[in-house]
Structure 1
Amino acid sequence: MELTEKNVAATDASFTQPNTFDSNLQLLIAAVGGNENIVNITHCMTRLRFKLVNESLVDKEKIESIKGVKGVVLAQGQTQVVIGVEVEQWYNALSGVNSAADNSSDSNIEQEKGKLFQNAMRIVAGIFGPVVPAIAGAGMLMGLLSGLIATNVISESSDTVFFFRSISVAVFFFLPMLVSFSAAKVFRVNEYIALAVAAAMMSPKLLEKAAQLSAAGNSPELSVFGVVPIELLNYGGAIVPAILAVWVLSKITPMVDKFVPVSAKPVFTPLIAFTVTSTIVLSLVAPAGMWLSNGAGWVVSSLLEISPTLTGFVFGLTRPITIVFGIHHSMTPISLNNFALYGKDLLMPIMCLGNIAIAGATMAVWYKQRKTASKEQSSITMGSGITAILGITEPALFGVLTKYTKALFMASLAAGVFGAISVTIDTHLTSYILSSIFSLPAYLAGGTQNFIQAVFGICGVFVLSFALTVIFVRIDNK
């Protein structure tokens, strides 16, 4: 895409310009190496994620000095610029930035070799970051319904509950389609063909056929061309098969393009890519994806069975650190898979505890600096703590706790302690929601005792994190 006058020009902008929004965008582009250094830009709920040709051109200090930037993380082969809740406004303004040439050199590919973990985390973050608001909204609706039902505010048999439960459950049933659209952007393949493949996986006719075959006492399988076996499975809510399907599509599409004449591409490329990919996916890839999903669920459940307390402690202890490095979305598919397999998840409550622990440590920093810090700094710290309670932790992490690493450790320790307690007493969720204090009504779906445990955990982790920070962290107010 070419730059428009409305968007940001790639210039060697002076870093002494006034703090207008447009000038800040210009400063950001210049600080990441200029327009020609940008391969692509994506975003999650709080961060701009730049894929760059040459990361050595990034001036981290200059980025951090830009008004509105909360911090910078160099991880997963990306330059992540933490903005906060206004990230979408920044992303939309930057959406006209010209990317580096598509044929940008083998050297760019070379940078990714040998970085399996970073690449995997980048893919997971890129796929689930944009999807989280949709599933969080639907999950929150399910949680609120459960809370209203449990408190007898509304009858479970009412049409109102039936309607809202149906539309919220639909989001999770059709989650493969949401994931496939997002994955298509990551794997750089046509989003609508990706959606078509996901739709094929969830074809009602195939599900009807499976039910008919099972009712007749036969195996739910088809034989295409007499040689290709198709196992008829229900892929509603299946994430891994959808991601693998789009990956396969991204490999097949270029191969199709090589032998289809230019004049025939508009018709025959989609036809062949969709047909071949759907066949391969439904015969082999999607069943393998289900096997992988079940295997991942088995690993997590095995760890919980071996030592639930230790597992909870480790997940809690590492929660704040994973947010710092931008790999916290790697937990999303695990939790969603647990919901699909077991109807509940023990890990999402720990994510919430981690966020509240960050809030507790941040508020402790505010408490210790309130009399000596400037009014502006004090208000920033308090605002960051409140935002963390509401589920957005990046301002607290990058604006406060990364400056006081011992405070970050105290938050992690508190999250580890209460993560261990949470898993041990079986505090759980039955639907995906944002990890904030607003998630509390959702715990009522697991019963009153489960709700009480969640309240205890949130209050306890805040107090412990606050107390540890006040006792052990020294604040330099110079």
Structure 2
Amino acid sequence: MQISESMGAFGKKNSASSKKSSVAERLTLMIDALGGIGNIADATHCMTRLRLKLKDQSLASEETLKSISGVQGVVFAQDQTQIIIGVDVEQWHKTLQGMLQDGNVASNTDDTAASAKDGKLFQNAMRIVAGIFGPVVPAIAGAGMLMGLLSGLIATNVISETSDTVFFFRSISVAVFFFLPMLVSFSAAKMFKVNEYIALAVAAAMLSPQLIEKAAALKAASEVAELTVLGVVPIELMNYGGSIVPTILAVWLLSKVTPLVDSIVPTVAKPVLTPLFAFAVTATATLSFVGPLGMWLSNGAGWVVSSLLEISPTLTGFVFGLTRPITIVFGIHHSMTPISLNNFALYGKDLLMPIMCLGNLAIAGATLAIWHKQRKTVSKEQSSITAGSGVTAILGITEPALFGVLTKYTKAMFTASLAAGVFGAISVTLDTHLTSYILSSVFSLPAYLSAGTQNFIQAVLGVCGVFALSFVLTTMFVKVDDK
């Protein structure tokens, strides 16, 4: 984390002001290196990166961006310019938003649909997924960590499972996952450039308690859980709690319906009739066919993953582990989030998130091995940066280690990936799994207790083993003398 040099030792108010000014100054340099404020068409962020859509990416100077204090790396991927900041990214993003508005350039103004016309379907899909789930991850990770902590306390008999305390905290954490469509809809609305609150209204319609109760009543009476609206429109009553794909499709549909309605409605009636018809048409179409289609796609994705695990769990674990560091480098690691969440919804557990944690610890092991080898040959400042990056990776934030250390040592990146692949294979083979979404760090280990003591022991041994293997392999095969 970068700290302003002008911060006083005791003046908190002055320190905060100084740091804020420093971020603004560095953002000014960044904007210049990106081709000017008018070249920025879209600005979002995830947990560690600014994700920018530039009108002309060729105007961006990678070397200048990397030279700015606080910038830990730059990645050009998925038609995005990704600038790695670290844990201070939210402050940078807020300051950048203000600068964009002052410069009369509104962020999130590029046409996502138009950008998809360039034929780069995969890149745009990954960009959309990252843009949607990046802001949502802290909320679901917080709820997941709470569920994991409760499981650990119950398993160790610190607290009774029947206590009011467990009932309360479990209820509020489960609620986050049930109402996940509302979180996803708000984030997706920003990506698809549509009114966030109408998107929330559509998600609320998907979670209507009356519709859920009606479906239960029809099923109890051995009848088909279906309604007929307007005499011709069939509505299949489904429980969309925790759904992801149906929600994203619903917001995408809203982004198409809204301008169509807006073009038909007279100007004087737009404030009333546009939201009315946009909501009514989108909600009806979603609950009629878009939502069921999304559920079918979700189940299909879950089937593909489960089939791969059935064919060869060891190979599947190895491939996911081997590619984990690379996906982080290219900023597509958030593409795993909907798969894991879907696994929780379908099977009540997920085998992939433990591999993410193993990948992070492998990165930490390789980074600290580099620190161990270079500590006597480089400056104390550089050595402390490397050590700090390794510790941060243990805590779940890997970008400083990847872009500040491992990208400079190709063999170290490979040894970390190999270690993650080996222990990823072991993890899946032993059925090490999670029952709720959590951050991939050592602080997440108590969550493994929810699946039993054996599962917890496997997770701890896996984390220790992958760190040790990555450290040893990097120490043996990577030379640092010329760096």
The whole-number CA distance in structure 1 between the counterparts of 2:110 and 2:41 is 11
The whole-number CA distance in structure 1 between the counterparts of 2:41 and 2:116 is 13
Q: Contact (CA 8 Å) 2:362, 2:467: kept in 1 or not?
A: yes
Coordinate RMSD, CA, aligned: 1.7
Cα pair distance change 1:369/1:184, threshold 3 Å? same
* Match 2:218 to one of 213, 237, 245: 213
* Match 2:378 to one of 368, 373, 385: 373
Aligned-residue sequence identity (percent) comes to: 77
Q: CA deviation at 1:110?
A: 6.4
Equivalent residue, structure 1, for 2:59: 57
Q: Contact (CA 8 Å) 1:40, 1:99: kept in 2 or not?
A: no
Is 2:424 the partner of 1:419?
Answer: yes
Equivalent residue, structure 2, for 1:13: none
Equivalent residue, structure 2, for 1:353: 358
Is 2:15 the partner of 1:23?
Answer: no
Superposed CA offset, 1:60-89 (max 9, x none): 000000000000000011000000000011
Q: Secondary structure at the match of 2:222?
A: coil
Equivalent residue, structure 1, for 2:153: 148
Q: What is the identity, as a one-letter code, of the residue corresponding to 2:202?
A: V
Is 2:469 the partner of 1:464?
Answer: yes
Equivalent residue, structure 1, for 2:178: 173
Q: CA deviation at 1:103?
A: 12
Q: CA deviation at 1:102?
A: 9.6
Q: Secondary structure at the match of 1:223?
A: strand
* Match 1:191 to one of 178, 192, 196: 196
Matches within 5 A, 1:392-403: 392-403=397-408
Equivalent residue, structure 2, for 1:9: none
Q: CA deviation at 1:226?
A: 1.3
Matches within 5 A, 1:178-327: 178-327=183-332
* Match 2:72 to one of 70, 73, 92: 70
The whole-number CA distance in structure 1 between the counterparts of 2:256 and 2:455 is 46
Q: Secondary structure at the match of 1:95?
A: helix
Q: Contact (CA 8 Å) 2:42, 2:107: kept in 1 or not?
A: no
The whole-number CA distance in structure 2 between the counterparts of 1:227 and 1:25 is 56
Superposed CA offset, 1:297-348 (max 9, x none): 0000000000000000000000000000000000000000000000000000
The whole-number CA distance in structure 2 between the counterparts of 1:127 and 1:29 is 24
Q: Contact (CA 8 Å) 1:37, 1:99: kept in 2 or not?
A: no
Q: Secondary structure at the match of 1:234?
A: coil
Cα pair distance change 1:330/1:104, threshold 3 Å? closer
Cα pair distance change 1:103/1:335, threshold 3 Å? closer
Equivalent residue, structure 1, for 2:91: 89
Q: CA deviation at 1:20?
A: 3.4
Q: Secondary structure at the match of 1:391?
A: coil
* Match 1:42 to one of 44, 56, 74: 44
The whole-number CA distance in structure 1 between the counterparts of 2:48 and 2:110 is 30
Q: CA deviation at 1:222?
A: 0.1
Cα pair distance change 1:139/1:194, threshold 3 Å? same
Q: TM-score, normalised by structure 2?
A: 0.93
The whole-number CA distance in structure 1 between the counterparts of 2:454 and 2:22 is 51
The whole-number CA distance in structure 1 between the counterparts of 2:104 and 2:320 is 37
Q: Contact (CA 8 Å) 2:72, 2:86: kept in 1 or not?
A: yes
* Match 2:344 to one of 339, 355, 363: 339
Q: Contact (CA 8 Å) 2:23, 2:95: kept in 1 or not?
A: no
Equivalent residue, structure 1, for 2:35: 33
Q: CA deviation at 1:25?
A: 1.1
Report the count of equivalent residues. 460
Q: CA deviation at 1:21?
A: 2.8
Q: What is the identity, as a one-letter code, of the residue corresponding to 1:422?
A: S
Q: Which moved more, 1:300-309 or 1:87-96?
A: 87-96
Q: TM-score, normalised by structure 1?
A: 0.94
Q: Secondary structure at the match of 2:69?
A: coil
Superposed CA offset, 1:271-305 (max 9, x none): 00000000100000000000000000000000000
Q: Secondary structure at the match of 2:118?
A: coil
Q: Secondary structure at the match of 1:48?
A: strand
Q: Contact (CA 8 Å) 2:353, 2:440: kept in 1 or not?
A: yes
The whole-number CA distance in structure 2 between the counterparts of 1:40 and 1:346 is 34
